[in-house]
């Protein structure tokens, strides 16, 4: 399906008759991909101020809050001039991409809300943890609905949990929904600092501290271990597709299988449960859909080897070494996982042991993504119920589609679909050159 961005008339024309005295509160509730959760947090406040014209003057300036588990976000803007001076509340909950369709279609009711079209979301800026059932207006997914079709079994929170649950995500029928594709979602690999390989030691004549493949890298002679003896190690900074495939399909179980310059440590892989767009994106983008040469990802949790988490945050905690036995992390667990590329790192008890690494020698930057150099990304899908599209949601889509509106703290990795010189129109398609609708340099 060809990517299209719906650009509809601004809601200001629709709501222009609303006066200050009759200001109402308009609520917009988004639900779906946890990989997109950090983006929506950054984008929503910018939209309310720059497009909706909500007050920037305290005490009526735009207020934001998150729940204690940081999976539900809420922003409240007052006296929004572009929408008849109404107050606007926008929420987004990052749970799993499949929920984008399920919540809009009413096919499941996991929160036991009054209707299957509702989900529990942050209550208010003052009390975000008091979650309330709200009807979902738009769903956000990292992949198209028909890209789902996975099953995983294990603890809901991976090594941090003790339950055992089966998650199943079938392909979702989106024929009754209106899609839009304003952005692409960047993904990356993350490793625990314990995943290391040899570097030239401090006494090396050249390249001290740099990775050592052969002794000559360090100024030594082939066949000696004078300067490249494996005793000096640092965390890896890159992984190849061959490595990724063989790690996550369960073939390689020790990092030293990639060579004696890697520290001999058991591999731990951290993934997402079925229903996750991050998981589906990995299978489609890196593993060739699980039915080609890439092979299949294991379905069952294997203690000490293979784990699945409900959210991207859970996955990062798994890489960090968090577990029931070590709830704040462990820097000796040689774990690897994949998530949205701009995951916050260095957070105490959450990601202090985690580093982002390159893929096939390339960094997950916005420049590399739009210019066809980095290929681990997917097209973002925003869904609304056909015939019930909300003007504010359409304006948010239009706003996000403009490369100039990428939030400053996301602009290093996130790209709008309009700036993509190299693109793809299905999740499993090979990336090709199409030229950018809106040229952005370099």
In a shared domain, residues 66 and 213: no
In a shared domain, residues 16 and 138: yes
Do the domain assignments include residue 425? yes
In a shared domain, residues 70 and 204: no
**CATH code for the domain in which residue 99 is found:** 3.40.190.10
Per residue in 331-370, pLDDT (tens digit) is 999 999 999 999 999 999 999 999 999 999 999 999 999 9
In a shared domain, residues 74 and 217: no
In a shared domain, residues 29 and 178: yes
In this structure, what are the phi and psi dihedrals at residue 42, rounded to the nearest 5 degrees? Answer: -75, -40
In a shared domain, residues 202 and 181: no
In angstroms, what is the C-alpha Rg of the chain? 23
Do the domain assignments include residue 127? yes
Do the domain assignments include residue 119? yes
Longest dimension (CA), the chain: 83
User: What pLDDT is attached to residue 122?
Assistant: 98
Do the domain assignments include residue 115? yes
**Three-state SS across 135-181?**
ECCEEEECCCHHHCCEEEEECCEHHHCCCCEEEEECCCCCCCEEEEC
Do the domain assignments include residue 329? no
| Whole-angstrom distance, CA of residue 156 vs CA of residue 167 | 9
- Tell me the whole-structure pTM to 2 decimals: 0.91
User: What pLDDT is attached to residue 195?
Assistant: 98
Do the domain assignments include residue 136? yes
In a shared domain, residues 37 and 180: yes
User: What pLDDT is attached to residue 363?
Assistant: 98
Per residue in 70-109, pLDDT (tens digit) is 999 999 999 999 999 999 999 999 999 999 999 999 999 9
Query: What is the domain count for the chain?
Result: 2
User: What pLDDT is attached to residue 293?
Assistant: 66
In a shared domain, residues 94 and 218: no
Do the domain assignments include residue 42? yes
* One-character DSSP codes across 193-257: TT-EEEB--TT-SS-TTSB-SSGGGGT--TT--SS--SSSEEE--EE-HHHHHHHHTT---BGGG
Q: What is the pLDDT along the chain (442 residues), one digit of tens a residue?
A: 433 433 333 433 333 333 344 679 999 999 999 999 999 999 999 999 999 999 999 999 999 999 999 999 999 999 999 999 999 999 999 999 999 999 999 999 999 999 999 999 999 999 999 999 999 999 999 999 999 999 999 999 999 999 999 999 999 999 999 999 999 999 999 999 999 999 999 999 999 999 998 889 999 998 888 898 888 999 999 999 999 999 999 999 999 999 989 999 999 999 999 999 999 999 999 997 545 567 788 999 999 999 999 999 999 999 999 999 999 999 999 999 999 999 999 999 999 999 999 999 999 999 999 999 999 999 999 999 999 999 999 999 999 999 999 999 999 999 999 999 999 989 988 899 999 999 999 9
User: What pLDDT is attached to residue 288?
Assistant: 75
Q: Is 60 helix (H, G, I), strand (E, B) or coil?
A: coil
In a shared domain, residues 205 and 74: no
User: What pLDDT is attached to residue 3?
Assistant: 39
In a shared domain, residues 107 and 21: yes
* One-character DSSP codes across 330-369: -TT--EEEEEETT---S-TTTTTTEEEEEETTB---HHHH
Do the domain assignments include residue 372? no
User: What pLDDT is attached to residue 308?
Assistant: 98
User: What pLDDT is attached to residue 351?
Assistant: 98
What residue numbers bound the domain in which 228 lies?
198-235
In a shared domain, residues 210 and 122: no
In a shared domain, residues 214 and 67: no
Report whether 186 contacts 136 (CB < 8 A): no
């Amino acid at each position: 399906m060809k990517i299209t961005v719906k650009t509809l008339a601004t809601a200001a024309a629709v709501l222009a008759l609303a006066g200050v005295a009759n200001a109402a509160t308009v609520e917009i509730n988004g639900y779906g991909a946890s990989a997109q959760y950090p983006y929506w947090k950054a984008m929503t406040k910018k939209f309310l101020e720059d497009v909706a014209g909500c007050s920037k003057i305290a005490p009526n300036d735009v207020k934001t809050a998150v729940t204690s588990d940081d999976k539900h976000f809420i922003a409240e803007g007052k006296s929004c001039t572009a929408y008849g001076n109404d107050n606007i509340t926008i929420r987004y909950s990052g749970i799993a991409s499949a929920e984008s369709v399920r919540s809009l279609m009413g096919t499941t009711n996991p929160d036991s809300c009054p209707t299957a079209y509702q989900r529990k979301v942050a209550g208010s800026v003052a009390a975000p943890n008091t979650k309330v059932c709200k009807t979902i207006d738009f769903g956000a997914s990292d992949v198209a609905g028909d890209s789902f079709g996975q099953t995983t079994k294990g603890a809901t929170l991976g090594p941090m949990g003790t339950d055992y649950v089966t998650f199943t995500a079938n392909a979702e029928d989106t024929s009754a929904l209106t899609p839009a594709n304003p952005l692409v979602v960047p993904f990356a690999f993350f490793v625990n600092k314990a995943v290391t390989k040899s570097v030239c030691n401090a006494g090396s004549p050249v390249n001290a501290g740099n990775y050592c493949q052969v002794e000559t890298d360090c100024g030594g002679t082939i066949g000696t271990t004078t300067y490249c003896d494996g005793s000096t190690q640092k965390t890896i900074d890159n992984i190849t597709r061959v490595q990724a495939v063989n790690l996550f399909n369960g073939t390689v179980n020790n990092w030293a299988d990639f060579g004696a310059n890697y520290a001999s440590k058991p591999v731990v892989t951290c993934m997402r449960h079925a229903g996750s767009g991050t998981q589906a994106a990995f299978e489609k983008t890196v593993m060739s859909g699980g039915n080609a040469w890439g092979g299949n990802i294991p379905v069952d949790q294997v203690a000490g080897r293979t784990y699945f988490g409900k959210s991207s945050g859970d996955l990062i905690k798994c890489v960090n070494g968090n577990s029931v036995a070590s709830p704040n992390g462990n820097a000796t667990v040689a774990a690897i996982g994949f998530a949205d590329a701009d995951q916050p790192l260095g957070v105490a008890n959450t990601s202090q042991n985690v580093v982002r690494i390159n893929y096939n020698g390339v960094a997950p930057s916005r420049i590399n993504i739009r210019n066809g150099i980095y290929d681990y990304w997917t097209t973002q899908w925003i869904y609304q119920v056909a015939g019930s599209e909300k003007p504010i949601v359409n304006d948010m889509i239009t706003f996000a589609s403009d490369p100039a509106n990428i939030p400053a703290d996301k602009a290093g990795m996130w790209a709008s679909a309009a700036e993509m010189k190299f693109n793809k129109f299905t999740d499993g398609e090979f990336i090709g050159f199409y030229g950018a609708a809106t040229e952005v340099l370099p």
